[in-house]
């Protein structure tokens, strides 16, 4: 199964899959000190645009990584950075439509308007099984809490419990059901102790 949207990875998650993604990303960009990691699965036959140059304070840079059938990164090889492709650089033919060979991924470091957006490991679907988080099944109330937590501030315009207020207005969820869902999501680490959403919680939200 391929994902159109990147899956968020929590570097604090000690699971084998999560640590495999983090290890591969850090091998590609060892100077990176942030904590934003993602994985994106590419469909068979899909191509990637790996052209890289600064534009309005934004840039994506890329390194290829060899997966070698391992998820601990112990034998991973990392390519030099993919060459820049500004109007002043020698063009690299085919860089706008790259197909990932089997056993190879690419790690992207994204800067958007001066903000560091973190690292994303892009891999083909045939190499994804061991690196993807296990699928989850959540209740409707839990999904409502996660979606409203992801999309709304905790308070705004003098309303201190804005997320619940909007969920009650649009979805009809009661305070008791909301509190029960929040407690269960905190226990399962979809929400933090301060009730903010975790990478695991973001992944569980419908796209």
Mean pLDDT value across residues 24-35 = 94
Reading the block at residue 154, the tokens are 């905790």
| DSSP tally for the chain: helices H, then strands E | 5, 5
Convert the pLDDT of each residue in 158-189 to its tens digit. Answer: 889 999 999 999 999 999 999 999 999 999 98
Q: What is the pTM of this model?
A: 0.72
**Identity of the highest mean pLDDT range in 6-15, 70-79, 189-198:** 189-198
Going across the sheet that includes 7-9, the strands are 7-9, 37-42, 115-124, 104-112, 59-66
Reading the block at residue 193, the tokens are 């102790």
Q: Note the pLDDT of residue 1.
A: 34
pLDDT at 130 over 90: no
**DSSP letter assigned to residue 182:** H
Sign of CA dihedral 110, 186, 19, 202: negative
- Pick the range with the lowest mean pLDDT from 35-39, 107-111, 128-132, 183-187: 128-132
> Which residues, 6 or more positions from 86, have their beta carbon under 8 angstroms from its beta carbon?
53, 54
Rounded Cα–Cα distance for residues 62 and 39 (Å)? 14
Q: Note the pLDDT of residue 88.
A: 84
pLDDT at 193 over 80: yes
Q: Note the pLDDT of residue 135.
A: 74
155 Ramachandran zone, left/alpha/beta (phi>0; psi -120 to 50): beta
Q: How many CA atoms lie within 13 A of 2 on its CB side?
A: 13
Convert the pLDDT of each residue in 49-84 to its tens digit. Answer: 999 988 888 999 999 998 874 544 445 589 999 998
Q: How confident is the model at residue 105 (pLDDT cuts 50, 70, 90)?
A: very high
> Which residues, 6 or more positions from 40, have their beta carbon under 8 angstroms from its beta carbon?
3, 5, 6, 7, 120, 121, 122, 123
Q: How many CA atoms lie within 13 A of 45 on its CB side?
A: 0
**Residue 143 belongs to what H/E stretch?**
helix 140-151
pLDDT at 113 over 50: yes
């Amino acid at each position: 199964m391929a994902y159109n949207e990147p899956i968020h990875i929590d570097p604090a998650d000690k699971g084998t899959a999560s640590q495999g993604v983090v290890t591969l990303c850090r091998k590609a960009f060892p100077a990176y000190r942030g904590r934003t990691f993602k994985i994106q699965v590419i469909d068979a036959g899909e191509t990637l645009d790996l052209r890289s140059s600064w534009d309005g304070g934004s840039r994506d840079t890329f390194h290829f990584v060899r997966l070698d059938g391992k998820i601990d990164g112990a034998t991973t090889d990392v390519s030099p950075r993919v060459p820049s492709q500004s109007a002043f650089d020698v063009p690299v033919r085919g860089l706008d439509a790259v197909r990932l060979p089997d056993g190879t991924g690419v790690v992207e470091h994204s800067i958007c308007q001066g903000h560091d957006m973190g690292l994303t490991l892009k891999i083909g679907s045939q190499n994804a099984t061991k690196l993807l988080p296990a699928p989850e099944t959540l209740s409707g109330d839990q999904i409502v809490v996660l979606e409203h937590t992801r999309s709304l501030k905790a308070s705004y315009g003098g309303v201190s419990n804005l997320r619940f207020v909007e969920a009650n207005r649009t979805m009809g969820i009661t305070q008791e059901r909301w509190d029960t869902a929040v407690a269960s999501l905190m226990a399962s680490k979809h929400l933090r102790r301060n009730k903010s959403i975790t990478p695991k919680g973001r992944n569980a939200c419908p796209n």
